[in-house]
Amino acid sequence: MCTHCTRRQFIGAGAVGGMALAAGHLAAASGASNSSPAPKSKVRICVVIAGKPKGNSWGLSEADLAPVMKRLARAEKNLGNVEFVIGQATNA
C-alpha cells in the first residue's frame, strides 16, 4: 500500500480505476456491435505460384499448375468477394 496516501484515498483510486476499466469495456462492446458495411467491389489478391520445377528451369508444368488453379478457383467461388490475380515466379 502507498505510504503517501490514506486507506480511503487508496480505495477511492482503486474504485475510479475500476470504473474507467468498465467504461472502456462498455465502449468497446458497443463499438463491436456496429459492423462495417460490406465492400461493394471484389478485393483483388495477388497470387504468385512458385515451386521447384522437375528437371527444367522455366517454371512449373501445366500438370503441376492444374490442381493449384482448380483450388484457387474453388476458393474464389466460395469466398465470393475476392478476385485472385495470378502470376508465376520463374528463374528465367
pTM of the entire structure?
A: 0.47
The tens digit of pLDDT for each residue in 18-43 reads: 888 888 877 776 655 556 666 568 88
Per-residue pLDDT at 74:
92
pLDDT beneath 50, residues of the chain = none
DSSP letter for each residue of 57-85: SS---HHHHHHHHHHHHHHHHHH-SEEEE
Give which of 32, 71, 65 is closest to 51, Cα–Cα: 65
